[in-house]
Structure 1
Amino acid sequence: MPSGLVALLDDVSVIARAAAASLDDVGAGVAKAGTKAAGVVIDDAAVTPGYVTGFTPDRELPIIWKITKGSLRNKLLILLPIALLLSAFLPGAITPILMAGGLFLAFEGAEKVIEKLGGEKHGETLEDPIEDAVSFEKARVSGAVRTDLILSAEIMAIALNEVGDETLVARAVTLALVGVAITVAVYGAVALIVKMDDVGLHLTKKPGASAQALGRGLLKAMPVVLKLLGSVGTVAMLWVGGGIILHGLEELGVPGPAHVAHAVEHALAEATGPLGPVAGWLGYAFASAIVGLVLGAVVAVIVHLIAKARGKGH
């Protein structure tokens, strides 16, 4: 009996050590995947405030919470199962699917550029009188969750690529942890950004002169920050969409466009010395954005021509 108990405890010890090693592997995978996906995370954080601003203060956090829940559904209930199934049974389909998502992002970004340049606006915007606030809010949340789905797909694909050699369970746990961590980080940052003016107003009512000065500074900075984020969000859609398409073409055996973008990156990196890494990244992002703008504009024109031919709006 004692020997049996010792043997059982020994087996438990072996299992515990194996579990601990698996958790270490998962933790390393999460850190690696999260780092690789950082660029897309920044894009996500830049795009989202544009869907939230313009509403009354009491609706801002509820809207962010709705988008956060939609983002978690995207990652955990839609993308995670699809990613695991594709990686197991049809890995070759991942790249074309990502490219389709990239083209959609490029289309949305190009459409915003066309509108900024004086093109026809499609759908109700914050500059227009809002006749049905509830319907408008639903439309904004739906648009944010739809865009989040594309960005989340890229994040999950990057994460999957980093843990592709792990077991199915390790891949699932890593993707789930990455999805939750990134969602909390992105929408926590968005909440801080959109409530910056409320914090500033609160500080202006404090008795201290320094607190009041900081509050006034936040209030003055808020419109500038939101305008900047709106522009960054549009550019982000273009460079992320274009980058996904360039990378996808390279994976499918058409490396020419990606090589041109990398040539721009290397040329700028070599010409700028200590600023090389930053300049090179900007060069590749610019080339990706141009690709996204051109392809997105083509899609936008086609979509709008079809809509007009059918006698419908956007």
Structure 2
Amino acid sequence: MAAGLAALLDDIAAIARMAAASVDDVAAAAGRASVKAAGVVIDDTAVTPRYVTGFDPKRELPIIRKIAVGSLRNKLLFILPAILLLSEFLPWIITPILMLGGAYLSYEGAHKVLEWVGLGGHEKHDTPAAEMGPEHEAKMVSGAIRTDFILSAEIMVISLREVTDETFWARAAILVLVAIGITVLVYGVVGLIVKMDDVGLHLAGKPSPTAQKVGRWMVKGMKHVLWVLSTVGVVAMLWVGGHILLVGIDELGFHPIYDFVHHAEEVVAGWLPAIAGAASWLTNTLFSALLGLVIGLLIVGVLNLVPRRKDEDEHAEAAAH
């Protein structure tokens, strides 16, 4: 009896060790998949603060919470089931979906670059957001969640690409961890960013000279933090979008562009053998960003031609009458 109990306990211990190992494997795979989506995560973090700009400070965290809940709903209820089913029954379609997302990121990045050089459109709001009422807040939250859907889809598909060799349920578990972890990370950081100036003002009102100095530094530094974050987000959009397109074009059978970039990596690594790995990565990143910018500008140009054509037709009809 004692021997049987000991054997049972040994079996239970073995099962527990296997389960723990499986959990560790899932967590490790989720970490690797999240790293691959880092560029889009940076972009997501950079984009969100603009949706709470101008609101009453008391509404900033509630708005971010609403967007975070919508983001998690996007990932778990809509995107995750769709991409799991596609990966199971139509695995070939993952590359085209990724490329569509890469094209979108390239377009967004190129549009921002055009705004930097004064060629992009700018929306003007004469009334502060804090005075526009709950309807405006709901509209901004809805817009943020729609934008998040695109970025979340890209994060999840990129993550999926890293775990295609896993079983169906392992992929599901890994992607659930990725969805929750990235959402908490992105919107936690966004919350810290948008409240940094409030914390600074609080510290500036303290009697301690050191606290006052730190508080003033935080308030003044806020605009610089947002500028850096926005700039990094644009670069990340172009880099990630361009790299997705670079690899996707190669996988679809057109190899010259990828081969050129790969050859450039080898050349630069040969010039800088002490940092060959970093040099290769930077070379690939540079060419990926350039490809993203070129394709993004092409998409911007094509989209801008459509309304112009309509306007020309309308003017022609008016002239005819």
Q: TM-score, normalised by structure 1?
A: 0.84
Answer yes or no: is 1:27 the counterpart of 2:27: yes
Distance of aligned partners of 1:65 and 1:216 in 2 relative to their CA distance in 1, 3 Å threshold? same
Distance of aligned partners of 1:24 and 1:223 in 2 relative to their CA distance in 1, 3 Å threshold? closer
1:48 match:
48
Once the two structures are TM-superposed, the CA of residue 18 in structure 1 deviates from its matched residue by 4.3
Q: Percent of aligned pairs with the same residue?
A: 55
Q: What are the residue-to-residue correspondences of 1:173-188 with 2, within 5 Å? A: 173-188=173-188
Q: What are the residue-to-residue correspondences of 1:48-127 with 2, within 5 Å? A: 48-119=48-119, 121=121, 124-125=123-124
1:176-217 alpha-carbon deviations (Å, 9 max, x no partner): 011101110111111111111111101111111111111111
Higher mean C-alpha deviation, range 128-137 or range 196-205:
128-137
CA RMSD of aligned residues (A): 3.0
Consecutive unaligned residues of structure 1, counting only runs of 5 or more, are: none
Answer yes or no: is 1:305 the counterpart of 2:268: no
Q: Distance between the aligned counterparts of 1:261 and 1:145, measured in 2?
A: 36
Which protein has the larger Cα radius of gyration, Structure 1 or Structure 2? 2
1:40-75 alpha-carbon deviations (Å, 9 max, x no partner): 323332333333333332232122212211221221
Higher mean C-alpha deviation, range 249-258 or range 172-181:
249-258
Tell whether the 8 Å contact from 1:111 to 1:296 is kept in structure 2 after alignment. yes
2:150 match:
150
Q: TM-score, normalised by structure 2?
A: 0.82
Once the two structures are TM-superposed, the CA of residue 295 in structure 1 deviates from its matched residue by 1.5
Higher mean C-alpha deviation, range 89-98 or range 260-269:
260-269
Q: Helix, strand or coil for the counterpart of 2:182? A: helix
1:183 aligned partner, one-letter code: T
Tell whether the 8 Å contact from 2:39 to 2:236 is kept in structure 1 after alignment. no
Answer yes or no: is 1:170 the counterpart of 2:176: no
Once the two structures are TM-superposed, the CA of residue 158 in structure 1 deviates from its matched residue by 3.2
Consecutive unaligned residues of structure 2, counting only runs of 5 or more, are: 312-321
Answer yes or no: is 1:224 the counterpart of 2:227: no
Higher mean C-alpha deviation, range 92-101 or range 227-236:
227-236
Q: Distance between the aligned counterparts of 1:181 and 1:310, measured in 2?
A: 45
Q: Helix, strand or coil for the counterpart of 1:195? A: helix
Answer yes or no: is 1:283 the counterpart of 2:283: yes
Tell whether the 8 Å contact from 2:205 to 2:212 is kept in structure 1 after alignment. yes
Higher mean C-alpha deviation, range 129-138 or range 244-253:
129-138
Q: Distance between the aligned counterparts of 2:158 and 2:207, measured in 1?
A: 49
